[in-house]
Amino acid sequence: MAILTVVLLLVADQSSKIWIKTHLQLYESIEIFPWFKLYFTENPGMAFGIEIFDTYLLTIFRLVVVAFFGVFIFRLIGKNSFKSGYIVCWALILAGAMGNILDCAFYGVLFDSSYGQVSTFMPEGGGYSTYLSGKVVDMLSFPLIRTEWPSWIPVWGGQEFVFFRPIFNIADSSICVSVFLLLIFYRRSLSASFAKEKDREDNVG
């Protein structure tokens, strides 16, 4: 179940990103509904476009995180004491992290620049960057509310207000939704699994 979950999520995530890269220019958009559009953007950062580390260092960090989650999920499955929904949530987090890692690790050499043009897969002149230094493709935009801040509000008064402003991808949403589900529905399982990990470390020590 966990492996199937990871594979399906990766296929959906990478398919959507490759379609966007090969059909839209950077910052081009397609309106699906007034409250939902595909808006092509790229970022070297973490979920929802947050930029914290250098792209190369962030990719290394993601690889370490993926390795941790892979081992963690393997141990959960081996214990046979947790619900399948709990394990699927962790598998979705793993798949989401892997989806964005693939962008950072390979997109820089597999695609040329999307700025002012539609990107080409495996261009003759080479990609826009190097291995481990690619950018994450984002495209899901949900501007549910568009209005202006009241004029009496300091600093932001009269400026445009958009909710929800962040642009993200399937991998990002997989991670965030799974974390939400774990905190709401599987708090006891979380406590139990981490308690068992601590006991295991104590026994090893």
Tokens of 55: 């792209």
Continuous H helices in 80-143: 84-102, 108-110
Q: Among candidates 93, 123, 89, 91, which has minimal Cα distance to 109?
A: 123
The pLDDT tens digits for 30-80 are: 999 999 999 999 987 654 445 555 667 777 887 888 898 899 888 888 877
- Please say whether the beta carbons of 143 and 167 come within 8 A: no
User: Residue 138 catalytic?
Assistant: yes
Q: Which of these is catalytic: 54, 172, 199, 202?
A: 172
Exposed e or buried b per residue across 100-132, where buried means at least 16 C-beta atoms within 10 angstroms of its C-beta = bbbbbbebbbbbbebeeeebbeeeeeebbbeeb
Catalytic residue list contains 54: no
Residues 154-195 pLDDT 10s: 988 999 888 888 999 999 999 999 999 999 999 888 888 777
CB 64 within 8 A of CB 97: no
Q: Of these residues, 13, 103, 138, 202, which one is catalytic?
A: 138
Q: What's the pTM value of the predicted model, to 2 decimals?
A: 0.86
